[in-house]
A = this chain, B = another copy of it.
Amino acid sequence: MKRTHHCSQLRASDQGSTVTLCGWVDSVRDHGGILFVDLRDREGLTQIVLDPANQGLESQFGSIKPESVIAVSGKVEARFGGTANAKLATGEIEVHASELEILNVSKTPPFPMDDSADKVSEDLRMTHRYLDLRRATNTKMLRMRHATSRAIRNYMDDQAFIEIETPMLFKSTPEGAREFLVPSRMNPGAFYALPQSPQQYKQMLMVGGVERYYQLARCFRDEDLRADRQPEFTQVDIELSFIDREDMYELIEGLMKRVWKDVIDVDIETPFLRMSYYDAMNRFGVDKPDMRFGLELVDCCEIFKASSFKVFSGAIKSGGAVKAFNAKGLADLTQGELRSLEDSAKALGAKGLAFIKCEGGEWKSPIVKFFSDEEKAALSELLQIEDGDIVFFAASEWERACTILGRVRLDAAQLLVKRGKLTIDPNDYKFLWVIEFPLMLFDEDEGRFVSSHHPFTSPVPEDIPLLDSDPKAVRGQHYDLVLNGVELGGGSIRIHQPALQKKVFEDVLKIPADVVESRFGYMLKAFEYGAPPHGGIAFGLDRMVTILTQRTSIRDVIAFPKNQKGQEMMTASPGIATEKQLRDLHIKAVLPKKES
């Protein structure tokens, strides 16, 4: 029995024709011995009528169970008047079966096959991922993920980019996250590393004259998976030559426009907003601000620099800042909610969370008694404090004060959303370029500068002289693309001059010369043979699809994700290797001692 149609295809105009459908039993109802089956395939549902009066069918009725696979031939008939289902594309017709083949019988699934399964334990769903993937929400996700990759490739192809596959068996690199290692059988004692990104290879492709490269590349990070991370993820990796930052912005804005249009038919506005790292931190307390709502941080240093409230004036005097924001309308927060905001602040190093609650025309606050009338008036003016508001403060060094309030701002926004006092529209796409990051940060533990992104990022040309005199003032030609509080991707114009790259490695980052040679020697050498000016960017495909499908986690948009222990439950991966395998690879397992 050969399928003639999909289950979403038949219409009233097909009445009278004989068809064959295949698929899964979505549901079955017995009306006086006649079975009404909703047959489901990838495309949709069709109602099948199985009448025991038809010779031979009834003997198979016992196998018509939800999720069984069947093939059915029969005639397309109009449904009886009044039984048509307007919600279903095929709701005007049904197929009266004359032939039936049971292709496979299903046991009863361990969880419901509709949206209510979202509430089932994730482990149970992942163990039976082949069932979970049959649910409409996941079918849709797989299609949208494919549509996203396709839109990206179509755009990049139109822009004359060449997709090039770079090695997965790479070598260990220093900076960045922890790596997965792969022992080499043919080179005893040597290890491949799975790439964290194709960064070095794509730069070599630029030296190789490719000019415009992209790749949807699998990348790997062996990090603890507390946040929304996966040990393997997919990166949209892009690099091009003879361009500057403006070219990059235009290219990527075009890419996003194309993806949003092709995948969810949304027109996004270009050019995107741009904001310096300093402004992002100063106004939103984070380098990936969600621009869909305000609650901006303001600087209160002018007001408090001579305050008798020493917690504030002291912070300012020692070079720090007093920041605040008005969580407009949140004065009715509960004690529990307040405590939870305070916990967020403390987790980021705050000693507490100072606030002023304005209720019934009165400022309720443990600290307001320390403020002078002028300070109160100035605050009221600066923060537009009205009845029903609550203002939060942070006094610390500038970056920490910003970060603390940035976190409290996000939490407070969620509380306002819960109360219906703030709307954060998931269909509102506020793209933002965050630019002008510092090239380096001083690492107190290591007592040296480290790259804020990676050591290949080019300094802003006019800042190059500062590399020697004031490294922390050097801005990098780095750019992050942020969407609704999520960092979609980032990149930079790279260093292409061998002498400058060597200087950054050795003089600025203080990487020992022998390490530079063993890790990056080939890059420095390559740059001596005509490296063009170049730059690139990389996006997390998983995050992009998570946003496009309005799911909550990247786990939701990966066909076979791993759990927080790095395990894929369905196949029970990772598994055990044999002694012989390990011997061949010149390694031995060294198990941690059991805790007593």
Contacts and interface: CB of A to CB of B under 8 A. Distances in A.
Contacts of A192: 180, 573-574
A274 interface: no
A163 interface: yes
Contacts of A586: 589-592
Interface stretch (A129-137, A265-273, A364-372): A129-137
Interface in A543-563: 558-560, 562
A56 interface: no
A245 interface: no
A576 interface: yes
B149 A529 contact: no
A164 interface: yes
A181 interface: yes
B530 A573 contact: no
A163 B146 contact: yes
Contacts of A24: 209, 530, 532
A380 interface: no
Interface in A183-226: 183-194, 200-201, 204-205, 207-212, 218, 220, 222, 224
Contact of A571 (B131, B157, B170, B189): B170
Contact of A103 (B129, B163, B183, B532): B532
B575 A172 contact: yes
Nearest to A224: B186
Given A133-B205, A187-B574, A531-B69, A167 B560 contact: yes
A577 interface: yes
A132 B208 CA distance: 7
A502 interface: no
A518 interface: yes
Interface string A153-171: 1000100001111111111
A251 to B, nearest CB: 14
A166 B68 CA distance: 25
A166 to B, nearest CB: 6
A103 B533 contact: yes
Contacts of A522: 570-572
Nearest to A592: B188
B572 A171 contact: yes
Contacts of A31: none
Contacts of A162: 142-143, 146
A254 interface: no
Nearest to A40: B209
A588 interface: yes
Given A162-B146, A573-B169, A107 B591 contact: no
Interface string A514-539: 00001000100011111111000000
Contacts of A186: 224, 565-566
B518 A575 contact: yes
A67 B530 contact: yes
A209 B575 contact: no
A128 interface: yes
Contact of A204 (B130, B208, B527): B130
A451 interface: no
Contacts of A25: 530
A191 B574 contact: yes
Contact of A188 (B181, B560, B591): B591
Contacts of A71: 242
A497 interface: yes
B167 A530 contact: no
A139 interface: yes
Contacts of A346: none
A575 B24 CA distance: 51
Contact of A189 (B132, B497, B591): B591
A314 interface: no
B573 A242 contact: no
A292 interface: no
B529 A67 contact: yes
A518 B577 CA distance: 12
Contacts of A326: none
Contact of A104 (B172, B209, B532, B575): B532
Most buried by B among A104, A143, A157, A200: A104
B164 A69 contact: no
Most buried by B among A530, A560, A573: A530
The 5 closest A-B pairs by CB, nearest first: A133-B208, A106-B530, A171-B573, A130-B207, A171-B575
Given A169-B231, A189-B589, 16 more contacts: A3-B242, A69-B531, A104-B533, A106-B528, A128-B526, A139-B210, A149-B163, A164-B559, A166-B560, A169-B566, A172-B576, A178-B185, A190-B574, A201-B559, A204-B560, A588-B590
25 contacts: A103-B496, A104-B527, A104-B532, A128-B526, A130-B205, A130-B208, A133-B210, A150-B157, A150-B163, A167-B568, A169-B568, A179-B581, A181-B183, A183-B589, A186-B566, A187-B566, A187-B574, A189-B576, A190-B576, A191-B576, A204-B560, A518-B572, A586-B590, A587-B589, A587-B590
